[in-house]
Amino acid sequence: MSGDASLVISVVSHGQRELVLGLLGDLQRHVRTRFRLILTENVPETPEFPVADYAFPIDVIRNENRKGFGANHNAALARAGDGWFCVLNPDIRLSSDPFPALLAVARDPRIGVVAPAVTGPDLEPEDHAREFPSVFTLLAKAFGHRPHLPSPAGEAVFHPDWVAGMFMLVRCETLRALGGFDERYFLYYEDVDLCARIRDRGLEVAVCTGASVIHAARRESRRNLRYAAWHLRSAARFLASRPRIALGLRARRRVAVRP
């Protein structure tokens, strides 16, 4: 392996052993960038993961009680060093090493967080890079309309409002300065909120189209009323949050002074 030894990848398993083993296999086969992986078992899993079978170091955190997305990744961040922190979902699949291209973008001091291009298993682009939600877009989504923000043609890097937490690369220093993920959210909108706070600090959210991964989306909130309720509570919290209101006011001021 070559590259940045200070890269830490955080993966959380919610009883997703087969998905995690598939991801670990992809990391073993395709990634040549040096990294350390922190694997959090959010629920007890047996048998234990065969961590000694891989060429990269794996630290395992076993939770006594189930935690949310933000709390799990914050606990992993506490074990990371001073380099780069990558949030990676178990249902991501790799066919090449995305990290050289991502790190090249992330080293720009204007960039707060970077994500790769994401496709579904059918290689169709996913809607992982979006504009911030509003009451109107949430109502449209409730009626089945899911607006997709396409990447600008020919752009190696573009800047959406936010990127989904399935794959996010951020400086450890930046994430710690922001206080990590906001644990008041649970499973939804932690990524939206983080990107809003990053942009509120004057940094950019970026997607690097030179790196691509595959995501097998589960969309639990569409099938389970409890997940849907969590989703709605998180959406309401975000719409009323200080970073979202501040960014909205700035956008309106820019429109007001435009000649």
Contact (Cβ atoms closer than 8 angstroms) between residue 38 and residue 10: yes
Q: Sign of the CA dihedral 79, 90, 220, 116?
A: positive
CA–CA distance, 232 with 241 (Å, rounded to integer): 14
The neighbour count for residue 146, using CB atoms within 10 Å, is 9
Mean pLDDT split into 10-residue runs, the chain, 259 residues: 75 96 98 97 93 96 94 97 96 97 97 96 90 62 54 80 96 97 86 94 96 80 60 69 60 38
What letter would DSSP give residue 71?
H
Condensed to tens digits (0 to 9), the pLDDT of residues 17-50 reads: 999 999 999 999 999 999 999 999 999 899 999 9
Q: What are phi and psi of 76, to 5 degrees?
A: -70, -40
Condensed to tens digits (0 to 9), the pLDDT of residues 85-123 reads: 999 999 999 999 999 999 999 999 999 999 999 999 999
Contact (Cβ atoms closer than 8 angstroms) between residue 201 and residue 178: yes
The pLDDT assigned to 116 comes to: 97
The pLDDT assigned to 246 comes to: 62
Q: What are phi and psi of 36, to 5 degrees?
A: -120, 140
The pLDDT assigned to 133 comes to: 76
Which fold would CATH assign to domain 7-257? Answer: Spore Coat Polysaccharide Biosynthesis Protein SpsA; Chain A (3.90.550)
Question: Crossing angle of helices 190-200/225-239, nearest 10°?
Answer: 20
CA–CA distance, 85 with 198 (Å, rounded to integer): 15
